Amino acid sequence: MDIFTDLKWRGAVNQLTDEVGLQEALATKQVGMYAGIDPTADSMHIGHLIPFMVLKRFQLAGHKPVVVIGGGTGAIGDPSGRNSERVLQTMDQVMHNEAALTKQMQHLFGEENFRIVNNRDWLGQLSLMDFLRDYGKLFSVNTMLAKDVVASRLEVGISFTEFTYQILQSVDFLELYRREDVQLQIGGADQWGNITAGIDLIHRIEGNEAKAFGLTIPLMLKSDGTKFGKTAGGAVWLDAKKTTPYEFYQFWYNQDDADVVKYLKYFTFLSKTEIDALEQTVLDDPGKRLAQKRLAQEITKFVHSQVAVEEAERISAALFSGDVQELTATEIEQGFANMPSFNVLNEKVNVVDFIVNAGIDKSKRQAREDIENGAIRINGKKITDLTTEINPNDMYDGKFVIVRRGKKKYFLGRVK
């Protein structure tokens, strides 16, 4: 299956300029292509990942991906998908975010046949006079106002700064066409207007024979129509400090049967044969969640590492079985990050007092009853002796004490 047919099968093509021309180019030469991200945060979340997964597929098919970090446009603010003006960041924050995003991109794309560039390198050199004379003159205000990304903001208002964003993105495409032989821009569905504006600019300056193409990816929605990528705790980040690899793995493992095949197509590099087989397991034996497990393994390995996959699965197995004794302190930090927690003094204490002090039981009477009934496990061991002393230094490098009350309710004690 060629790359273009594969993308269509995966449902990764929303809109496309000059489909025939792009297919011919892809079949005859190595095509340069780019997707961009503005440094509005120091990590991508999984919503950002979607166009870059498509860019990675092109890389694996032998084409040349270029990632643009928007050090210039990020200082301006993209009006897309927003109902108000973006709060401008300091340049120190922008540069910090650029460095973090660059590191993530290098991990995802490797070093071969891949480029990272920063649009501040050319946008930062533009004077106001050059901008107005060389580019502003080529854009019709009427056309710019009609773009969805701008039209949606007219009622609430849009600043001239954000209004000019589409010109700057167009300049990016022109500069990459010249500097990196980039012919294809890839973006989300909301970027269609900006992408076509860039193609128009290339044709105006380089001539109508210039080969430039645009491809957008469908808006990702869950089967119930809600937005993909959000959880009760907020965004799912690629940065392990913001979303632990265990939490990342669990997000994918917990996907609904109605969505998992779509996500396997979008977020893994598995073949059609493999995905079709996993789809059949959803129909035949959904309880085993084999498709969800494979999805979680593949995307966690891609974003983090195979080691992260193994750690996530070890944590999952320990939490399910209650056997947490073999987990490391690092794995405890990951697996219990969102569990109820309490502080523990670094001193020995009777188990009854420990349970009450932790707030797990409200009274000593209830604590004694739970202990005698075998409902309390500490660091994986069932405690039934009321005289037991709890030593916070016994396990997990002296950093944590894990309490389980009943079959599933865990508490994390942080040793102070």
**3-state class (DSSP) for residue 1:** coil
For residue 263, say whether it is annotated as part of any ligand binding site: no
CB 186 within 8 A of CB 35: yes
For residue 211, say whether it is annotated as part of any ligand binding site: no
- Residue 158 CA, distance from chain mean position: 28
Nearest to 176 by CA among 217, 230, 117, 90: 117
On the CB side of 37, how many CA atoms lie within 13 Å of its CA?
Answer: 26
Nearest to 243 by CA among 399, 43, 53: 43
For residue 249, say whether it is annotated as part of any ligand binding site: no
For residue 230, say whether it is annotated as part of any ligand binding site: yes
Q: 197-235: string of b/e by CB count within 10 Å (b at 16+)?
A: bbbbbbebeeeeeebbbbbbbeebebeeeeebeeeeeeb
Helix axes 290-303, 257-267, angle to 10 degrees: 30
CB 372 within 8 A of CB 283: no
- What is the rounded CA–CA span in Å between residue 243 and residue 406? 28
Q: First CA to last CA across the chain, in angstroms?
A: 58
Q: Annotated binding site for L-tyrosine, which residues?
A: 34, 165, 169
Q: Annotated binding site for ATP, which residues?
A: 230
Q: Annotated binding site, which residues?
A: 34, 165, 169, 230
